[in-house]
Amino acid sequence: MWRVFYNAALVVAFMATYKTAGIFAATVVVMAGVVGEIIVTLARRQRVDKLQWTGLCLVLVLGGSTLLFHNETFIKWRPTGVYWLIAGAFLTSLMVAKRDPVRVIIGRWVSAPDAVWRFLSWSWFVALVAVGAVNIVVAYTMSTDTWVNWRVFVAPGSLLALAVAQATWHRNYILTAWRDHQSEEAM
């Protein structure tokens, strides 16, 4: 849970730095923040997962290229890289491992039919590919101000809206899990 708050704070720091000092300073902030996340994870004696290592590589290569070549295009590719890597992991899980990644993530708390898990996993795959693609369109066709607003508000807001819509649509499974949890606590 600490990672959610850490990453939210990093987004706020990125936005504030961009508004006050520009994209290159904001790139340094995001690079330092991702390195900091790895350090904090290790200091807490937790395992650094593949997504964290991949995110570190992406931010160091693309952020470093942004600073080295003084070209903001590189850092604008980072969100797409993250979204598409996660989508690739979903696709690999679905096609190669024959497992539904959403079930792997939340299936220990919520029970649902196989068709529901498959639908949720495929919809997240499509959403991640789409948000990554739109990021590229925004990066190349709109101002950096517009791209920063897209990156900070619209892209995560779109994914949050998907999560809320899916939770609302499949609320019966969630409510059943909640009732089961309450019954276990009462015993």
DSSP string, 43-97: HTT-PPPHHHHHHHHHIIIIIHHHHHHT-THHHHHHHHHHHHHHHHHHHHHHHTS
The average confidence (pLDDT) of the chain is: 92
Please state, in angstroms and rounded to a whole number, the distance separating the CA atoms of residues 146 and 138.
Answer: 8
Confidence of residue 47 (pLDDT cuts 50, 70, 90): very high
What single-letter DSSP state applies at residue 99?
A: -
Share of the chain above pLDDT 90, in %: 76
Confidence of residue 182 (pLDDT cuts 50, 70, 90): low
pLDDT of residue 171: 77
Residue 9's closest CA among 31, 28, 24, 30?
30
Confidence of residue 185 (pLDDT cuts 50, 70, 90): low
Residue 50 pLDDT exceeds 90: no
Q: Are 95 and 66 in contact (CB under 8 A)?
A: no
pLDDT of residue 134: 98
Please state, in angstroms and rounded to a whole number, the distance separating the CA atoms of residues 144 and 56.
Answer: 23
The token pair at 159 is 């994914």
Q: What is the pLDDT of residues 125-158, one digit of tens each?
A: 999 999 999 999 999 999 999 999 999 999 999 9
Q: Are 25 and 17 in contact (CB under 8 A)?
A: yes
Residue 3 pLDDT exceeds 70: yes
Q: Angle of helix 2-21 relative to helix 23-43, nearest 10 degrees?
A: 160
Share of the chain above pLDDT 70, in %: 95
Lowest mean pLDDT among 57-71, 110-124, 125-139, 167-181: 167-181
Residue 174 pLDDT exceeds 90: no
Q: Tokens 């904090």 label which residue?
A: 40
Residue 23 pLDDT exceeds 90: yes
